[in-house]
Amino acid sequence: MENKGSSSRASGASPTELFISVANVVRIIQCVVPPYGKIDGDAKEIVQHCVSDFIGLIAAEANLLCQSESHKTIIADDILRAMATLGFNDYVNALSFYISRYHETESLGIAVVGDGRLI
């Protein structure tokens, strides 16, 4: 499942730098899989590759937007604009709402756990 056309590989990045960790993938998958469900190793790997490629695609587009505007730091708005540019408009409003709620809870000193619970 090696992506030989990856720009990260072409730039000399090691394979471990190209993918999010399997532990993170499993943690995300387990949010939607019933407690009695099992996740095959190949399924974990496929999702790991897909998620990593998706993140890389969005980040690359956001980076291009930043370069065109001559700023060096990618911010949340850059990610949202990149997603819209790439045709992921259906997710932009939901993510914008999530970001604003996240900042609200952060300003109140409330922590949000991975499954969305407030602590």
- As a whole number of angstroms, the distance between CA 57 and CA 69 comes to 19
Q: Is residue 33 part of a domain?
A: yes
pLDDT confidence bin for 103, thresholds 50/70/90 = confident
The domain in which residue 41 lies consists of 7-89
Residues 29 and 39: beta-carbon distance below 8 Å: yes
In a domain, 108, yes or no: no
- pLDDT attached to residue 8: 43
Tell me if the pTM is above 0.75.
no
Residue with tokens 């930043």: 66
Tell me the pLDDT tens digit for each residue of 9-62: 444 555 445 788 889 989 888 888 998 999 999 999 999 999 999 999 999 999
The answer as to whether 56 is a domain residue is yes
- Does a structural domain hold residue 104? no
Residue that wins the pLDDT comparison between 56 and 119: 56
The answer on pLDDT for 6 being more than 60 is no
For residues 33 and 1, which has the higher predicted lDDT (pLDDT)? 33
Residue 30 lies in a domain: yes
User: How far is residue 64's CA from residue 79's CA, in Å, rounded to a whole number?
Assistant: 11
Q: What percent of the chain has a predicted confidence (pLDDT) above 90?
A: 50
Number of separate domains in the chain: 1
Angle of helix 22-30 relative to helix 41-68, nearest 10 degrees, comes to 100
Average confidence score pLDDT of the chain: 81
Scored b (16 or more CB within 10 A) or e, 92-114 reads eeeeeeeeeeeeeeeeeeeeeee
Q: Is residue 42 part of a domain?
A: yes
The domain spanning residue 52 has which CATH number?
1.10.20.10
